[in-house]
Chains A and B, each alone.
Chain A
Amino acid sequence: MADATQNVTLTVNGKTITAAKGTLLIEACKQNGIEIPAFCYYPGLSLQGACRMCLVEIEKMPKMQTACTTPVAEGMVVQTETEKVVQARKSTLEILLANHPLDCPVCDAGGECELQDMTYKYGAGESKFIDIKSHRDEQQWSPVIFYDRPRCILCYRCVRVCGEGMDVWALGIQNRGQGSVIAPNQGGKLDCEDCGECIDICPVGALTSSTYRYKTRPWEMTHTGTVCAHCADGCITTVGVRRSDTGSEIVRCDNRDRSGLNDDFLCGKGRFAFDFASSKERVTTPLIKRDGKFVAATWAEAVELVAARFKKAGASLGVIGSNHTTNEENYLLQKFARTVLRTNHIDHHRTADYPSFARAIASSKAQTASLKDVAAASAVLLIGGNPSEEHPFLAWQLRTAVRQHRQKIYVVNAAPIKLKKQAAHFLQVTSGKEGEFAAAFSGDAAALAHLGVDTARFDPFTAALASESSLLVVFGSELRGAGIDKLVATFAPKGAKFLCLGDYANSRGAADMGLFPDLLPGYQKAENSGLALPQMLDAAAAGTFEALWVVGANPAARHADVNAFAKPFLVVQDMFLTETAQHADVFLPASFAYEKAGTVTNTAGDLQRLKKASDVHGVKPDFEIILRIAEKMGADINALVPFRGYTSADAGQSRGPQSGEADRNAVFTEARGLEAKTSPLDPTITLEEIAQTVPGYAVSRLKLLAGEAQPTTLVQIDPAGIASHSELIVPARNGLYASGTLGGYSETLRAMGATHRAAEPVGAD
């Protein structure tokens, strides 16, 4: 391993370079702008030395050496591009290509294939060999993964990423010599999480996905880096979009450019479950219910009707927000509800006790952790939760940290979760009592009794934990209210950082933006508390509510009483006719995360920017829908969105299907120190307002625009008046094959789930 404290100096191609002792030659060269080609070497995975592409000449060594297995040494003299080296690489390519099918025009990897690139570079285009190539038929290993044996160059990257990276070990090698094949370890099918990392990491087109194969070519797509729409980890995903008759079609999600927190990691959901966007069930025109049936309507009709009914309803209106919509939308929604509709009956599906977390952090002046901190932490205490199932990227980071720098993980859980394997210490406690761990750690005997752990197991665990000098505390939704207070109070004095796990893409953002009846943005206490979600639904069922407005949520999935949705005038903004939307009086088709701009906050509080990647004709972002309703109600748009130079003509025009236009505008204006003032529909202006009004959100806009995750903080929040409502928290328990309501509309995700054991979601949103 590289030792940053000691440097060695070596000469590469006559250039003197310096690298940390223990660095591999290939990495040292890369850091100094000298590229050494390799197929099997992959940063972060174990060394293979199998492809022989990285051979270099090192003085005083009789044979050429592989740069990927040779650590740098003081005074080493290396030549990476001599005639001998180039000839060796060329001949290796030549014999690889001898049996590699030359079907580049058809192959999915054509255009982004490492073998193709190297053949271009070293020019082994003409084959010397005339014998017949060996052929094997293509195999389907899982609903999403296909393997084309002849294209495989056996670099074993897939085997290693599956085993070492994912800790799944579903792939192996069968036979030997020329007969070697990559094969699933269990029969002919993959027994795995369908994360698709193997496809992603494949340098050629041997592994392909059912969602992308034979659909398009890499250069035909528009690539936009945005934030994944599924879990609360907030991975960056590069959405590949091609034009289609419905506007545009998403054909691929990956993160090959290693942008964002997640490097090149994506889980199966993030990688494959995007097809709901072009689902046949998606509604793309506003619907108004007439005589119990939905009738297609124009936006003008629908918005007018909604505005009229909202005006009539006055404060007798409940608003249910979403944990998928952007911060700007959530902020605007609560601002609109509170200032225009003048109601505090606003809430959302809570999956974690963020208010208590904010109170605990602010009271103890503790530090919150960014997801970036996880990989670097030397020790992690994980209480509750199941990252392998619900936070795949967090689990990936923990595994990577254990593998690469022996991070110590302390797991306190009611079940032997998968991360137990990587855990340095594991403590199984009584289910539902995870919150008492902190008290027991502080020496509370009663709490220890509740945990159901005897001292023989508890003492070694706590002794080891207490000896850790720096600690990152990660806890799941099992911890609420006083449990969080105690935990933070216990470990904050040791300088620990804290991370609270919630469930959906913007749960944290929804909480931070004040989608609460009693809390304003930044967890500031509201003067009069409105009704919380269950009470709102009860009131609606009792007929007290004139109207109910559901923005991107599906409360009917968890709330059995149909009257709650049937009685009031129900307005639903969503993509599909969900259980809730079935009861709607007006349905407004909305865009989802990949189709709009804005920001989202992941569960660790990292603020990241959504970029518009695709578009579907007919639908509108929730931000625009809210503004249109406000405009029709005669509200002061300029007060809602502090946009200078507003004329009503601007509001009438959406930004059109060209993705990224608003973003480019924002980059341009930001870079010149100007305020974005093109249109009230540009959420950038609302972000500016959020930065000013929500404590902890005053992050670098430039870095945010550049695509960097910006950690927000909770420590400046005023903890006074933040009440715990533990009973309102319903964890979604989305496993690897569920993603709330949206996931249900993804055929790919359903197919993946059907072949694998899936965790039952408790409640969907």
Chain B
Amino acid sequence: MQLIQNIAAIAKGMSITFMEMFQPTTVENYPDGKGPMKGAVFQERFRGMHVLQRDEQGLEKCVACFLCAAACPSNCIYIEAADNTAEVRISSAERYAKVYNIDYNRCIFCGYCVEACPTDAITHGHGFELASYNATNLVYRKEQLLAIAPAHQGANAMFNASEPEKAKAQA
């Protein structure tokens, strides 16, 4: 009886093995895959490198409230705040982040900063290739974290082009 049970168990286990042998592979071919992602595939919920978002006007959403830094369990966010002026407006509120650094040596991608943010300024992007030979390179500055400026602010040349120019470009 004991013997039969053992054989059955082995047979059951092996049957799964054999079944899976004929399924298509689910292993990602990173980094030898095609396209800019080099074969990497992500779920939407994946928490990668942070992105500092901009609002509809292209202004930075971050108002330097320091709540992300306060929420951060690994103390990896460093901010210096400054005052917006009439001439130089960076964010829509009175204050903006003059310096915004995230130290990826320490970041554990827990997402608390994203949860804490009252203006939805900091989000997790899908950036993941963060390895470096030099630890100091892992301190990312605001310029590296910011989302690109929206098209009408010049990021997309087509957006600002006149109608004839667009027609010409399409032709």
Contacts and interface: CB of A to CB of B under 8 A. Distances in A.
B65 A217 contact: yes
Nearest to B92: A106
A110 interface: yes
Contact of B63 (A106, A215, A220, A244): A106
B81 A216 contact: yes
B25 to A, nearest CB: 47
Interface in A93-114: 103-106, 110
A668 interface: no
Given A214-B81, A216-B81, A103 B66 contact: no
Contact of A214 (B69, B95, B118, B119): B95
A129 interface: no
B69 A105 contact: no
Contacts of B55: none
B93 A103 contact: yes
A contacts with B: majority SS: loop
B102 to A, nearest CB: 16
Interface residues of B, number: 17
Given A217-B66, A219-B66, A105 B119 contact: yes
Nearest to A242: B80
B67 A215 contact: no
Interface string A244-264: 100000000000000000000
Interface string A361-383: 00000000000000000000000
A671 B83 CA distance: 45
B11 interface: no
B83 A104 contact: no
A213 interface: yes
Interface string B56-85: 000000011111011000000001111100
Nearest to B84: A214
Contacts of B81: 214-217
Contacts of A219: 66, 70
B82 A216 contact: no
Nearest to B116: A105
Nearest to B66: A217
A691 to B, nearest CB: 41
A518 B118 CA distance: 66
A105 B94 CA distance: 10
Nearest to A103: B93
B127 to A, nearest CB: 25
Contacts of A217: 65-66, 70, 81
Interface string B94-134: 11000000000000000000000011000000000000000
Nearest to A210: B83
B65 A110 contact: yes
Nearest to A138: B94
A220 B69 contact: yes
A220 B83 contact: no
Interface in A184-236: 213-217, 219-220
A214 B83 contact: yes
A289 to B, nearest CB: 36
Nearest to B78: A243
B65 to A, nearest CB: 3
A681 B145 CA distance: 44
A491 B69 CA distance: 61
Contacts of A215: 81-82
Given A213-B83, A215-B81, A106 B66 contact: no
A217 B68 CA distance: 12
Interface of A: 103-106, 110, 213-217, 219-220, 244
21 contacts: A103-B93, A103-B94, A104-B65, A105-B63, A105-B65, A105-B67, A105-B93, A106-B63, A106-B65, A106-B94, A106-B95, A214-B64, A214-B82, A214-B95, A215-B82, A216-B66, A216-B81, A217-B66, A219-B70, A220-B66, A244-B80
Smallest CB-CB A-B distances: 4 pairs? A105-B65, A214-B95, A217-B66, A106-B93
Given A105-B67, A214-B81, 13 more contacts: A103-B93, A105-B93, A105-B118, A105-B119, A106-B65, A214-B64, A214-B83, A214-B95, A216-B66, A217-B65, A217-B66, A219-B66, A219-B70
